[in-house]
Amino acid sequence: MANGARLFSHAPRLRTMTLLARAGVPLRQAARRSPIATPARFSHGHAEFSPVPFTYKNRKLFAAKVAAYLVGGFAIPFVAAAYQLRKSS
């Protein structure tokens, strides 16, 4: 029993390693090769920037139409719920 205890007392201690150090070689190489900043995939040339894919002449009229569309779409569930509640009573 004394010999067995002596064998285990001289065993090397486990050292804690970072997650990257424990990872395999391919993973470490992939981490080294990964780009820091991703390049732009699409180039639109030197044209003027437009946030919408179509043209409009009157900006205020366009804003009013967009607002009406968004408010109308948001209101549909509430109008339907009110209708169903009135219908059931």
Q: What percent of the chain has pLDDT over 70?
A: 56
In a domain, 8, yes or no: no
In a domain, 45, yes or no: no
In a domain, 87, yes or no: yes
In a domain, 44, yes or no: no
pTM value?
0.41
Residue 36: predicted pLDDT: 67
Q: Give me the number of domains the chain comprises.
A: 1
Q: Supply 51's token pair.
A: 């946030």
Predicted confidence (pLDDT) per residue in 49-69, tens digit: 777 777 888 999 999 999 999
Domain containing residue 79: 58-89
Q: Report how far apart, in Å, the C-alpha atoms of 6 and of each of 2, 11, 14 are.
A: 6, 9, 18
Predicted confidence (pLDDT) per residue in 37-51, tens digit: 666 666 656 667 777
For residue 8, name the pLDDT band (cuts at 50, 70, 90).
Answer: low
Predicted confidence (pLDDT) per residue in 12-41, tens digit: 555 666 665 666 777 777 777 766 666 666
In a domain, 80, yes or no: yes
